[in-house]
Amino acid sequence: MLLDANALRPKTITFVASLDPRMKKILTLLFTVFITAHHLQAQSTIPRYGLSDERDIYYVFTHADIWQDPKTLLKNATLVIKNDKIISIGINLVIPKGAVVYDLKGKMIYPSFIDAFSTYGLPEIRKERPGNRSPQYDTRTNGAYSWNQALKPEFDASRNFNADAKKAVELRKLGFGLTLSLQDDGIARGTAVVVALGEGKENELLVKDKAAAIYSFNKGTSTQDYPASLMGSIALLRQTYCDAKWYQQSKNKNIDISLESWISNQELTQIFDVNDVWSGLRADKIAKEFNVNYVIKGSGDEYKRIDEIKKTGDAYIIPVNYPKTLDVSNPYDAIDISLAELKQWEEAPSNGSVLEKAGIKFAFTTYGLKDKKDFLKNIQKAILYGLSKEAALSALTQTPASILKISDRVGSLKPGMLACFFISNKDVFDKENIILEQWILGKRYADKEYDLTDVRGRYKLSLDTLKGWDINISGEALTPEWQLMHDSTKVKVNFDRDGQQFTLRFEVKKGAGNYRLNGVLDANDKLTIAGDGQTPDGRWIQWKAIYATVFTETKKDSLKKDTIPVIGKVWYPDMAYGNTELPQVKSVLIKNSTVWTNEKEGILTNTDVLISKGKIQQIGKNIDANTSKIAGLEIIDGTGMHLTAGIIDEHSHIAIAGDVNEGTAAITSEVRIGDVIDPEDVNIYRQLAGGVTTSHLLHGSANPIGGQTALIKLRWGKSAEAMKFEGADPFIKFALGENVKQSNWGDNFSVRYPQTRMGVEQTYIDAFTRAREYDQSIQKSLAAKDKSTTETPRRNLQMEALAEILNKKRFITCHSYQQGEINMLMHVADTFGFKVNTFTHILEGYKVADKMKAHGAGGSTFSDWWGYKYEVMEAIPYNGAIMNRMGIITAFNSDDAEMARRLNQEAAKAVKYGGVSEEEALKFVTLNPAKLLHIDKRVGSIAVGKDADIVIWNDNPLSVYAHPIKTFVDGICYYDFTNDQQKRLQNESERQRIIKAMISAKEYGAPVDKPSMKIHELQHCNNREESPY
């Protein structure tokens, strides 16, 4: 509600009142505050030229509805400020002498919004476009800073802050009075500063220096090669925490300004910027590991995994850059948009509401919005999707203040706090709301001057040539509509307002020509607008409109009202083939199938298998369902079907987020695939459809010592962490040959050591020698009696992983082709006293099978690949058969998301090439990889007590005609041939439902983007640095 006519213009008044005793007390109290405030007022060292202009006066805002904080609305209240502070706030306050009073009847006051993640006032980051450049192994930052260009903890936003008048206006219009300003570049981004969005010298605008330290996984503009992957960024963060710890206590070190800043930044609020919900969880894992707390600057898709998010206990700063509406008019455009994208479009606005309901502390940010003007619209949308207004307000005021530890100064309106607030014409979350003015640090910013006089109503027009007409002004107070009315005739008036002056133009009859009038508002008494102007024929005339009838608001057209959207449920994962509910463990009796036990029993025909509680419970003929007494036992008639252990892929690159290679340095044993599992890779589901139940996710082969691997079970729908194979031995990827020599990387890549097989050996010897020395120094330090005299060595995660190999606590799977290098690595291993656990690819294993046998290495090879590069020209499809015959544990792997879903057929090639028996051949993709991965006690065969990771096939599993009917992991059916059809129908109906909604959004005027197709980049092609095979 706006004020009546004539109500509101600032007036200086002298306040005289007879005070009752109670009021006196308040007055005294107020005076105390005044005095304190005066003393606290900032002193300036800036000399003034000319006359001083101190204005030691009060500003008083009366009759406003004031949101003191998100829980407290003071109706018809008064706010008193002086200089940059709030003096008092409340109902029926005494207005002090010497005050400018603003009557805000019908208006609202809110604490200024705080954007806790903004680049406001900081220089724009320019990213060099990656060209055809040579590798850069060292930092290009000059000075005694970090070795890594992406670590800039020394960056201090306050030193680089420049008020930006244009951007400040943009943010103020949205209600923001303060931002946390930071530089969004690099992995450690330095400190951020809280600034006020006012004008003036920066000294006056900095509210809190070093308010937070900022981090991310994104190396930003760093041109240095390392890190090139998400797991590399994580490793770098981890190592830096270790380095900092050592640096703090070491007496024997070089100065590192970056580390010193890193250390001093630790006491600040730590904010971590991530790109998706999974990376939020990744960041949290690091935080817990190093006993720090992160506030996560999220990505807006937290709703997808709200339970996991809640468990972290982290606070979030979330953007509202919802996915754009896409033009799906053309059905062929629509098919290229995935259900994941459609669902995200539909569900993203519910993020705030989901976070609120889960009780997660969160703030909103404008960060990521291309057009900041969408911000309030999108908050309103969040409210429409179920977010409470209280939570919304809190996320814009109190929560960011609390995150930044400035809630004693901003974020709510209390005496003594900074005078940062804004005035709006109505509820700030109302669509029609207009933010009229901002007061920041006690200064008024009216970025657009709205004359607050409400001129709506009906007026009698007095104009010589138009007798008996009225002017009706209706619509919104700040954007009214004008009409001329005579009986039932209505004429639209084009009008413009310039302060107190009006321009009116109208045509009484079409073609009759325009009246063009100028008028001025006289609001002293009864509202009158009067002036002169020209008739259509150019005659000058006088006119006057006299206020006659009060304006009454009419109810809005109900059609225009927003309906509360109905949105789909979140699926697990939230994409095509996702589960609407997570599948549960079942008890199943599979009767009468051919069971390939992989045990000494061999292949058993007409045999029953009972699984329950995730384990294989019983194997035998004619198991009686009744005697097992299991509630809800499902019985499957397996007649004509085959039952095998689930397929285990020893060499896979699916389900890895942000690059499979940290192929920059020759040794990257510090990186971990386990940090970057992507549970939303559709290939997980596709491989379940090919009978795969366990995958060994490997780092790529771009360097002699790659990264630590991760073993997962294909628990489609579960989170990244829940996919990990519990208790599995840790492995690491090594690689030999052309890839590590960078032979096929192009002419720019000829400087990294090693470039020859000679150098590869030297690299290993050096690495393991250093690892041994490292391990010894650690052991020595642990054994030292007097800890005070021995310095604890720096924890080196790269060396630590290698020392684990030396100590037989971590195992190698080594990408290898030619016999010479295979031989070499076994010699290196023998010299250092460990075994190479597995040679993967091992295409010339057949040439050194005797040596491998003697060393004790296993071989995980391709069935029949060759020809793609020089070092595989003597690869033969009989390789598996020969190694197997030599008594080497032999497996076939995929290294390929496509091949992985028919590894059973690859196993059959061992029958074709080299005459391995069918029973043995199946072990190449089940039991043998289980042995190579040291998990054969849990999986790999059909034996009582083992995990119920089983596949039911429609045919002999080695046949090209076979496909899984059901695939179980831990006794949970994650793939079902029949249910797959249901899932496709479900995908399609969900797609069509959302497409319909998208089209209707377009029709209601949502701006649309041209659709494009997201290419699922397979983790083994495209990038030479990711060359896998």
Partner 1 sequence: MKKNILFAFTICCSLQIFAQNPIPAGKELKRVLLFGGMAHLGNGKVIETSAISLKDGKIVFVMDSRGFKPARDAYDTIIDLAGKHIYPGFIAMGTQIGLNEIELVRATNDFNETGQLNPSARAIIAYNTDSKVTPTVRTNGILTAQIAPLGGLLSGTSSVVSLDAWNWEDAAYKTDEGIWMNWPSMRIVRASWAGTEEEQQIRFEKSMKMLTQFFSDAKAYNDLGMPAIHNQHFESMKALFNGTKKLYVRVNLARDIIAAINFCKLNKVQMVLVGGEDSWRVTDILKANSISVIIMRTQALPLRDDDDVYASYKLPSVLKNAGIDFAITDDGYWKIRNLPFEAGMASGYGLSKEEALTAITLSPAKILGIDKTTGSLESGKDATLIVSTGDALDMRTNQIELAYILGKEIDLHNIQQQLYHKYMKKYGFE
Closest to partner 1 by CB, 822 or 933: 822
Segment lying near partner 1 (by CB under 8 A), choices 102-110, 274-282, 507-515, 865-873: 865-873
Closest to partner 1 by CB, 411 or 658: 658
Question: What is the rounded distance in angstroms from the CA atom of residue 860 to the CA atom of residue 840?
Answer: 5
Residues 336, 1012 contacting (CB under 8 angstroms): yes
Query: Whole-number minimum distance, CB 1018 to partner 1, in Å?
Result: 8
Residues binding partner 1: number (CB under 8 A) = 72
The residue from 205, 803, 899, 903 that contacts partner 1 (CB under 8 A) is 899
The residue from 175, 227, 280, 914 that contacts partner 1 (CB under 8 A) is 914
Question: What is the rounded distance in angstroms from the CA atom of residue 994 to the CA atom of residue 1005?
Answer: 17
Question: What is the rounded distance in angstroms from the CA atom of residue 398 to the CA atom of residue 826?
Answer: 62
Q: Is 873 in the site for partner 1 (CB under 8 A)?
A: yes
The residue from 125, 144, 512, 1013 that contacts partner 1 (CB under 8 A) is 1013
Q: Is 332 in the site for partner 1 (CB under 8 A)?
A: yes
The residue from 420, 576, 667, 852 that contacts partner 1 (CB under 8 A) is 576
Closest to partner 1 by CB, 162 or 330: 330
Length of the chain equals 1029
Number of other residues whose CB lies within 10 A of the CB of residue 42 = 9
Segment lying near partner 1 (by CB under 8 A), choices 298-306, 704-712, 719-727, 959-967: 959-967
Closest to partner 1 by CB, 71 or 1014: 1014
One-letter amino acid of 745: W
Residues 508, 515 contacting (CB under 8 angstroms): yes
Q: Is 823 in the site for partner 1 (CB under 8 A)?
A: no
Residues 665-724 that bind partner 1 (CB under 8 A): 682-683, 685-686, 689
| CA distances, 94 to each of 11, 184, 415 (Å) | 16, 47, 14
Closest to partner 1 by CB, 800 or 980: 980
| CA distances, 775 to each of 46, 72, 731, 797 (Å) | 59, 61, 18, 11
Closest to partner 1 by CB, 731 or 953: 953
Q: Is 202 in the site for partner 1 (CB under 8 A)?
A: no
Instruction: Identify the residue whose tokens are 């200024």.
Output: 112
Q: Is 772 in the site for partner 1 (CB under 8 A)?
A: no
Q: Is 75 in the site for partner 1 (CB under 8 A)?
A: no
Contacts of 522 (CB under 8 A, 6+ apart): 528, 529, 530
The residue from 747, 961, 1003, 1005 that contacts partner 1 (CB under 8 A) is 961
Q: Is 864 in the site for partner 1 (CB under 8 A)?
A: yes
The residue from 339, 413, 441, 948 that contacts partner 1 (CB under 8 A) is 339
Closest to partner 1 by CB, 493 or 643: 643
Number of other residues whose CB lies within 10 A of the CB of residue 514 = 14
Segment lying near partner 1 (by CB under 8 A), choices 355-363, 538-546, 805-813, 979-987: 979-987
Closest to partner 1 by CB, 30 or 1018: 1018
Segment lying near partner 1 (by CB under 8 A), choices 185-193, 225-233, 764-772, 871-879: 871-879
Closest to partner 1 by CB, 86 or 692: 692
Region of residue 614 (phi > 0: left; psi between -120 and 50: alpha; otherwise: beta): left
The residue from 24, 870, 937, 985 that contacts partner 1 (CB under 8 A) is 870
Buried b (16+ CB within 10 A) or exposed e, 14-27: eeeeeeeeeeeeee
The residue from 73, 268, 987, 1002 that contacts partner 1 (CB under 8 A) is 987
> Burial, 915: exposed, middle or buried (Cβ in 10 Å; 0-12, 13-18, 19+)?
exposed
Segment lying near partner 1 (by CB under 8 A), choices 55-63, 66-74, 561-569, 843-851: 843-851
Question: What is the rounded distance in angstroms from the CA atom of residue 655 to the CA atom of residue 676?
Answer: 8
Q: Helical H runs in 784-878?
A: 797-806, 819-832, 849-855
Q: Is 995 in the site for partner 1 (CB under 8 A)?
A: no
Contacts of 161 (CB under 8 A, 6+ apart): 121, 122, 181, 193, 195, 202, 205, 206
Binding mask 577-616 for partner 1 (x = CB under 8 A): x---------------------------------------
Residues 213-232 that bind partner 1 (CB under 8 A): none
Query: Whole-number minimum distance, CB 129 to partner 1, in Å?
Result: 11
Nearest to 661 by CA among 546, 739, 774, 605: 739
Closest to partner 1 by CB, 221 or 777: 221
Q: Is 426 in the site for partner 1 (CB under 8 A)?
A: no
Closest to partner 1 by CB, 206 or 337: 337
Segment lying near partner 1 (by CB under 8 A), choices 392-400, 514-522, 583-591, 984-992: 984-992
Q: Is 340 in the site for partner 1 (CB under 8 A)?
A: yes
Closest to partner 1 by CB, 508 or 876: 876
Residues 734-763 that bind partner 1 (CB under 8 A): 738, 743-744
Question: What is the rounded distance in angstroms from the CA atom of residue 1 to the CA atom of residue 6?
Answer: 15
Query: Whole-number minimum distance, CB 127 to partner 1, in Å?
Result: 14
Contacts of 1009 (CB under 8 A, 6+ apart): 324, 325, 326, 327
Question: What is the rounded distance in angstroms from the CA atom of residue 517 to the CA atom of residue 541?
Answer: 9
Residues 677, 987 contacting (CB under 8 angstroms): no
The residue from 250, 338, 528, 777 that contacts partner 1 (CB under 8 A) is 338
Closest to partner 1 by CB, 114 or 654: 654
Number of other residues whose CB lies within 10 A of the CB of residue 783 = 8
Query: Whole-number minimum distance, CB 563 to partner 1, in Å?
Result: 28
Number of other residues whose CB lies within 10 A of the CB of residue 393 = 24
Nearest to 551 by CA among 468, 632, 475: 475
SS3 311: helix
Number of other residues whose CB lies within 10 A of the CB of residue 580 = 14
The residue from 457, 679, 877, 929 that contacts partner 1 (CB under 8 A) is 877
Render 652-681 in DSSP notation, one character per residue: E--SB-S-S---SSSB-TT-BGGG-B-TT-
Q: Is 1018 in the site for partner 1 (CB under 8 A)?
A: yes
Q: Is 972 in the site for partner 1 (CB under 8 A)?
A: no
Q: Is 911 in the site for partner 1 (CB under 8 A)?
A: yes
Closest to partner 1 by CB, 250 or 579: 579
Segment lying near partner 1 (by CB under 8 A), choices 141-149, 195-203, 551-559, 844-852: 844-852
